[in-house]
Chain A
Amino acid sequence: MSDERLPGSVRVGLRLLDRQILDRDGTDVGKVDDLELDCPDDGGPPVVDALLCGAAALGPRLAGGLGRWWRRILQRVEPGEPEPARILMSDVAELGTAVRLDKPGPEVAGAVEKWLRDHIIAKIPGGRS
Chain B
Amino acid sequence: MKKLFGITLGILTAIGGFVDIGDLVAAALTGARFGLSLAWVMVVGVVGICLFAEMAVRVTTITGRPVFDLVRERLGARAGLANLTASYLVTLLTLAAELGGVALALELATSVNHLLWVPIVGLLVWVVIWRVKFERMEKAYGLLGLALIVFAVAVWQLGPDWGALLAQAANPVPPPDESWPVWFYYAIALFGSAMTPYEVFFLTSGGVEEGWRPSDLRISRLNVFIGFPLGGLLALSIMVAAALVLGPAGVQVDHLGQVVLPVAVALGKLGVAVALIGFFAATFGAALETALSGGYAIGQYFGWRWGKRVAPVHAARFHLVILATVLAGTAIILTTLDPVKVTEYSIVLSAAALPLTYLPILVVANDAEYLGRRVNSPLTNVLASVYLVLLLVVSAVTIPLMIVTRAGQ
Interface segment, one of B73-81, B114-122, B380-388: B73-81
Contact with B along A61-96 (1 / 0, CB 8 A): 111001000000000000000000000000000000
| Those of B110-135 within 8 Å (CB) of chain A | 130-131
Indicate if the CB atoms of A97 and B317 lie closer than 8 Å.
no
The answer to whether B65 and A98 have CB atoms under 8 Å apart is yes
Chain A: which residue is nearest B319 at the CB level? A121
Interface residues of A in 27-61 (CB under 8 A from B): 27-31, 33, 53, 55, 58, 61
Nearest chain B CB to A18's CB is how many angstroms away?
5
What CA separation (Å) do A45 and B306 show in the bound complex? 37
In the bound complex, CA of A30 to CA of B69 (Å)? 11
B369 at the interface (CB under 8 A from A): yes
Known contacts A29-B303, A61-B77, A127-B312, A121 near B320 by CB under 8 Å: yes
Cα distance, A63 to B65, chains bound together (Å): 28
Q: Is the CB of A61 within 8 A of B78?
A: yes
How far is it, in angstroms, between the C-alpha of A116 and the C-alpha of B301 when the chains are bound? 20
CB of B320, distance to nearest CB on chain A (Å): 6
Whether A121 touches B313, Cβ cut-off 8 Å, given contacts A20-B303, A28-B303, A97-B370, is yes
A11 located at the interface, meaning its Cβ lies under 8 Å from any Cβ of chain B in the complex: no
A residues in contact with B80, CB < 8 Å:
18
Task: Decide yes or no whether A126 CB sits under 8 A from chain B.
Answer: yes
Classify the secondary structure of B's interface with A.
helix
Q: Are the CB atoms of B305 and A117 closer together than 8 Å?
A: no
Within 8 A of A (CB), among B276-319: 301-306, 311-313, 316-317, 319
The 8 Å CB contact of B320, one of A18, A20, A30, A116, is A116
Kindly state whether residue B8 has any CB partner on chain A within 8 Å.
no
Q: Verify if B72 is at the interface (C-beta below 8 Å from A).
A: yes
Known interface pairs A62-B77, A121-B312, A127-B311. Does A30 touch B303 (Cβ–Cβ under 8 Å)? Answer: yes
- Is B252 located at the chain interface by the 8 A CB criterion? no
Contacts of A109 in B (CB 8 A): 316-317
Interface magnitude class on chain A: 20 to 34
Task: Give the residue among A30, A53, A55, A117 with the most B Cβ atoms within 10 A.
Answer: A117
Question: Quick check: A31 and B302 within 8 Å, CB to CB?
Answer: yes
Cβ of B405 within 8 Å of any chain A Cβ, yes or no, is no
| B63 at the binding interface (Cβ < 8 Å) | yes
Given contacts A113-B316, A120-B320, contact A28 B305 (CB under 8 A): yes
Partner of B303 from the list A21, A126, A127 (CB cut-off 8 Å) is A21
Give bound CA distance, A105 to B77, whole Å.
22
Residues of B within 8 A of A21 (CB): 303
Task: Check: A122 CB closer than 8 A to any chain B CB.
Answer: yes
How distant is B145 from chain A, measured CB to nearest CB, in Å?
26
User: Which B residues from 174 to 189 make CB contacts under 8 A with A?
Assistant: none
A63: shortest Cβ distance to chain B, in Å? Answer: 7
A124 within 8 A of B: yes
From residue B203, how far is it (CB to closest CB) to chain A in Å?
19
- Is the pair A126, B306 in contact by a Cβ cutoff of 8 Å? no
Chain A residue contacts of B78, Cβ below 8 A: 61-63, 66
Min CB gap A99→B, angstroms = 10
Given the known A-B contacts A63-B78, A97-B63, are A122 and B73 also in contact in the complex, defined by CB atoms under 8 Å? no
Q: Are A31 and B320 in contact (CB under 8 A)?
A: no
Can you list, as one digit per residue, whether each of B350-390 has a CB less than 8 Å from chain A (1) or not (0)?
A: 00000000000000000001100000000000000000000
* Interface contact A117-B81, CB-CB below 8 Å: no
A20 contacts across to B, CB distance below 8 A: 65, 69, 73, 303
Task: Report B's interface with A, CB cutoff 8 A.
Answer: 63, 65, 69, 72-73, 76-78, 80-81, 130-131, 301-306, 311-313, 316-317, 319-320, 369-370
Q: Which residues of A contact B (CB under 8 A)?
A: 17-21, 27-31, 33, 53, 55, 58, 61-63, 66, 97-98, 109, 113, 116-117, 120-122, 124, 126-129
Top-9 shortest CB links A-B: A117-B316, A31-B303, A30-B303, A121-B316, A28-B305, A127-B312, A122-B313, A18-B73, A61-B77
